[in-house]
Structure 1
Amino acid sequence: MTTYDFAIVGAGIAGASLAAELSASGASVLLLEAEDRPGYHATGRSAAFWEECYGGAEIVPLTLASGSYLRERGFLHERGALYIAREGDEELVTQFMQRFVPTGATIQHLGRGDLQKRVPGIRHDWSDAIWEPVCADIDVAGLHAHYLAQAREADAAIECRARVVRLDRRNGRWDIATERGEAFQAAVVVNAAGAWADELAKLAGVKPAGIEPYRRTVAQVRVDPPVPDDLPLVLDIRGRFYFKPESGRLWLSPHDEEPSKPCDAAPEELAVAEAIAQLEEVVDWRVEAVEHKWAGLRSFAADRRPVYGYAPDVEGFAWFAGQGGFGIQTAPAAARLGRQLLLGEERDAMTEKLDAELYSPARLD
């Protein structure tokens, strides 16, 4: 039986990007996916955008470090983003600027006049905004396929319908058993299992990292008047909603975070209704139909930072999880950093400004 250098569990954007990076180094890589196809859960349901402030100030370095890779390969399409604020939210606007200007994010304060130009039909009590001109839509499917193709070209093995049910460490390697009875061996198991990350850790006898899944709902709606093609991504500065145009329709979310067990997430009607009600508080558009709705799970450690690197308590087990809703926009830098941590490599131009200690599993002890 082949003993792989690394067995990565989970073939969403986290596992796929890390598999591409590790296999490019010459390491032998096995990528195990529980579902019929990679990216079925969070990655395949993402309304992803590359937005410099998304995820908080400690995530900005990962986002900025990923920007050139995504832009140069055509995965970003310029959109722009507005964090909008009502009368009475002036202190929140000030705090936002104070928090993110030092990070190097490109942001500027806009008043009511500029806000009206960018969001036609916005109601009169929305008076302030923060503008992010470099925010962009991400070609999620294209980026995910890119990393899977890179991994295959470097001879990584990809196994679907391979849900891991047992992990045993013997003589410096892992014996890995799947639900269908297959057996694999690897020197290192990498936990890129998303919402199932803590469950996988328990199989290996590793202390869970406290990674909790939360449901996020998105609806595609048709509105009157039609959505302007140049409408930016619009986010509430209080974190209650966001919406963006997509192929002549509007993708709308109540920015919900409902705790959930790891599962095939389904949208809640109440969440969709709340999103529509919030939209009606922002603009004078009329929602004509809800054409599609879906939900995905976003998984976070307690401090909302991702978990990258070797577990401190069990040899040969590494974490690459807890990336919440920002895992796609940070994928290039995160995967490069993950490779360097797992192989003991020096930082390069992409990762030289990243503080790996912020994301270390050791912080969670």
Structure 2
Amino acid sequence: MRVLCPNFEREDALETILDVPIPEDMFTSMGNSVHIRWQNMSTWMRAQTSDKWSSPVIANRYNELTFLLYIVGSPLLPLQIQLDNRARSIRSSSIEASTAKYIVQQYMAAIGGQQALNAVRNLCAIGQLKISASDFHQGDETVDVQSREETGGFVLWHKNPNLWCLELLVSGCKVISGSNGKISWRQSSNQLRPISKGPPRPLRRFLQGLDPRSTGDLFLQAVCIGEKVINEEECFILKLDTSQSDLEAQNDPRFEIIHHTIWGYFSQRSGLLVKFEDSRLLTVNSENGDGIFWETSTESVIEDYRYVEGVNIAHSGKTSVTIFRYGEQSSNHKRQFEEKWMIDEVHFNVWGLTNDFFKPPSELTKYETT
């Protein structure tokens, strides 16, 4: 990952720290020499102005990239996770719920134990990813995801499930997403999409092995529905349906979430979460009043667990997303996406990371509630 950009105007000047580190693959594709690559990068950074988006070709390209980053790179979950440090009884529930709590206890031990987790006050993660996508196609026919991959990197700051900030840069398109505990938001660098806002929600990427404590607290509410072999690992399956109150809190005049279900696959051998799935169905209100259904199914295979200051953090994985669109006024369409991700650095307890760091854009300040 490239973190610093040289100053080409003054050789004795300090190098510039990039907001989002650049993966080596993205860097090498920008020219034939190091000097040309950094000049192209510098030119791109200076060109982030509104007149750049006047060309329809460029606008369509960046709209597509923004769509990828919203759907695959920075999806949110329509629920709230409450941190729970109380003693966890497994006796006062049904067999399925008690079994789930026991599996979560084994998971918490496998990722380092409660003492190690309690020592973590905040987190900063730096990573890289590659995203590829198919076009929309009709019916249930199988279509290979396009071979072209969009390369990028991200920086994620995290203090608790509702205090976080993500900066994600892929192929020149940047998305900033965050939550300050009162509202969550997303905005893109091309400014062609309006800033979206809603109630505080967790970033799905946390539950891909970066935030074990939130993962444990989430699945404490689940039930065990059986077993399945995942990548030659025998796993317990925990299932959680998002409550109706959480779904209603996310609804908007433009859309309604009908259901959202989550599954976690925990290895019987290691106790670790090795796969995370979720499925969401929502209806979008069209201009003529007809509803169009969007069904999104996402699954993440989680790999390469390593200890960082006593906490077992997943450092790589692959996420697959399938979107179905259908309705009375819409033909059945299907689209598939794939993301390969890798964590390069994880730092705990970053000094000076206060709640002010997670403030929303000034345009949204008026929407904050007390």
Q: TM-score higher than 0.5 here? A: no
TM-score (norm 2): 0.24
Q: Give 1 or 2: higher helix fraction.
A: 1
- Bigger relative contact order, structure 1 or 2 (CA pairs below 8 A, ≥6 apart): 1
